[in-house]
Amino acid sequence: MLFGRFGTVRSLNNTDVLEFFRTSELMGLFRLSGDELLEFRKSHTFKDVVVTLRFDQFIHDLPVLGGEIAIHISPKTLEVHGLTGNLLSSSSITPPSEAVPLKEDDVRTTLEIKHQHSGLKVATHPVLQYVIDENDVGRLCYHIAILSRKSSSVTGVTTSNSTLLEPFDVYIDAVTHELVMDIPQWHKALYRQVFDVQNTKVLPGNLVRKEGNPPVSDANVNEAYDNAGKCYYYYLNLFGRDSWDDQGSPLNSSVHYSVKYDNAFWNGEQMVYGDGDDIIFSDFTGDLSVICHELTHAVTQSTSKLRYWYESGALNEAFSDIMGSSAVVYTTDPVFDRPDPATSWIIGPNCTLQNLNPTGCPDCPLGLRYMNNPTLDGSSRDYYPERYTGLEDSRGVHWNSGIANLAYVLTVQGGVHPEQKTTVYVGPIGLPQAQQIYYLGFTHYMTATSVFVDARAATLQATQALYPNNRPYYDSVGNAWTAVGVVPTPSAHSK
């Protein structure tokens, strides 16, 4: 992450912006050889503060998963004030000619025996591409789409329904055949359409209500319709965002998915809701925090593309919790400042039927996660030095999200770490300001492989962009990250 003053571009045209990057000294800072291809993906604007242009990287005509650069420009002056991303040098990676052929039996050996995938179905043939792994190492990999029974529960809670086949994008080292990543592709969420799957898994199902139609007899249909609208207007009214992709795309939902299905998810195109098993979860359509959580995965898909793996995946999950909880507060009372800490920071209070941590927190209100005190759920972390570093939960995407969740809550309402793991005091700045800062930081200044220290830098840059020279706000945002153990490192640059 580089923030500062780097010069001006001739225009906001993507060709001019890319030429500025290629002819500047910045190429050297990203350790590029000069023959790497950067292909324009999209641009997006936040108010009059920043225009962000995103470019994807290709080497040897192969895409680089996680290889991208986002160039941030002040639209009034055309000054480049930031560059964020992760790029590989073509001189430091394995050429495609060294790939060792991969057989389906090799895939099954790697995934079923070593990595808990069962009932595996290989959906696509292996395709070569480059991957930037969690250690920032470029790997030549085979990319394969599979279906398997390895749980990818959006809630992070294992239930009886974890035996359903779910989609993963799998990346296997093309030389050693080691698993690099197995990323779940179901992310658990104005023109609205609601479909009834009728307890099958054939999407989208029968259309039963669309925009402007009156309520129907099925309460789940009406809840899905109403809550999609509430989330839409939260994003529109507070951030000027027109649907999940900012292009006014329909908000499509399917209800009654499968039988006693304990999940809701965004599948890359639409929302899907199970009815719950009536033991751990009830139906998910009535919980706005869950619905806007899932639709925020779609916002991330359309902006930063935070990869659902390791620290970037935990930030992906945290951003969904942050916007889901904030949407509930806004919907309850659009004229607000500081939400009620006793009720505003619980994710899933209206769909959770059991205390998921009865021994550790017998008096906790029902919910999936507690953003103001993450460890109450029995699995979430609240302090970066204590983050989960194992192989489960896609390297901790749910369990580590509590670190960023707590930083956000402290920014909003102030105070110190609830478990006194640090003594840093955070001054409150209120929800209206904090949600603008986090929205800008996560949608513009972050990229697919961003980690926690990058989230700190991104939200600090967003604070400076939105509230220039407001030292109390800047200090609060920084102190909140320090309070949860995310401190500056040399990898987060400021110029």
User: In the block, which residue shows the tokens 């190429």?
Assistant: 27
Helix (H, G, I), strand (E, B) or coil at 279: coil
DSSP state of 40: E
Distance CA 480, CA 382 (A): 12
Distance CA 273, CA 295 (A): 12
CB 361 within 8 A of CB 355: yes
- Residue 320 phi, psi (nearest 5): -65, -40
Distance CA 255, CA 233 (A): 21
Q: Is 68 a catalytic residue?
A: no
**Strand 179-184 relative to strand 369-370: parallel, antiparallel, unpaired?**
unpaired
User: In the block, which residue shows the tokens 């250690």?
Assistant: 135
Out of 72, 187, 398, 417, which one is annotated catalytic? 398
Closest alpha carbon to 138 in 97, 169, 92, 171: 92
What is the number of other CB atoms lying within 10 angstroms of the CB of residue 76? 8
Q: Is 294 a catalytic residue?
A: yes
Report in angstroms the alpha-carbon separations of 402 from 18, 296, 316, 434: 37, 17, 11, 17
Distance CA 480, CA 143 (A): 38
Q: Spell out a b/e string for 33-56, using b for 16 or more CB atoms within 10 Å of the CB, else e.
A: eeebebeeeebbebeebbbbbbbb
Out of 134, 166, 223, 294, which one is annotated catalytic? 294
Q: In the numeric block, which tokens belong to residue 126?
A: 């292996």
Amino acid in position 309: W
150, 154, 160, 166: CA torsion to nearest 10: -40
- C-alpha 162: how far from its chain's center? 22
Helix (H, G, I), strand (E, B) or coil at 229: helix
What is the number of other CB atoms lying within 10 angstroms of the CB of residue 31? 11
Q: Report the catalytic residues.
A: 294, 398
